[in-house]
Copies of this chain bind each other. A is one copy, B any other.
Amino acid sequence: MTNQRKPRGPYRKSAERREQILQAAYEAIDEYGERASLQDIADRVGVTQPALTYYFPTRDDLLLAVLERRDVLGRELAGGARRDRTMIDSMVAGTRHTTGHPGLTKLCVTLSAAATDPQSPAHGYFNERYRRLTAEVARDLEERQRTGELRADEPADHLARVLLAVLDGLQIQWMHDSTVDMAAIVETFARILAPLAGAGNAEEPAG
C-alpha cells in the first residue's frame, strides 16, 4: 500500500480496527486452530464481542477473512519463489508453510470440505479460490513452456491441477498423521516430474 491517498479520520480508524481484529483472529487460529474463541480474539484487541460483530457479522465471515489472508500470504510466498526459484521449490516452501501453521491448515481443510455444500456461506469463495489458483499456476507453467523450461506437449491446466492436488492431498494425509514428511514426498514428486523439463534438460538445474 502506498502512502498517497491514505484514508483519514473515522474511516481510517475503522479500517485499522478491522485490520487489528483480523490480525488477532489470524494469530489466535494459528495458535489454537478453529477452537480459538471469539472472546479470545476480542480480548487480544481489547474490544467487546459485539464490537467484533460490527466488523465481522458472523463467525464464518471472520474465518473466511482469515483464510483469505492465509491465501494472500501463500501467494506472496509462491510469487516471491516464482521469480528466483523453481516451481518445485515453491511447492516445498508451501509444504513448510502448511506444517508450520497447523491451525491455519486445519481451518482451510475444514472450510473447504464444508464449502462443497452449495448452501455453505463459503461455497462461492472456494469455487473462486480454486479457479484463481489453477489459473495462476497454469499461467506460470505456460510461461515456462514458452521459454522451453518445460515440455509443451501436456496441457498446462492439467499440470496445474495435478500440482494443486498433490499439495492438498498430502496436506490431508499429514493432518491425519503428522509423521508424513510432505517436503520429502514433494521432492520425490519433483524427480518424477524431471523428464517434463525442457528437452535434454531433465538432469540439469532448471532455469
Contact = CB atoms under 8 A, between A and B. Distances in A.
Given A167-B169, A169-B165, A158 B116 contact: no
Interface string A142-157: 0000000000001100
Contacts of A170: 161-162, 165
A63 to B, nearest CB: 14
Nearest to A113: B113
Interface in A173-201: 173, 175-177, 180, 184-185, 188-189, 191-196
Given A110-B114, A159-B188, A161-B173, A204 B203 contact: yes
A168 interface: yes
A81 interface: no
Nearest to A153: B191
Interface in A45-66: none
Contacts of A20: none
Contacts of A130: 173, 176-177
Contacts of A202: 195, 203-204
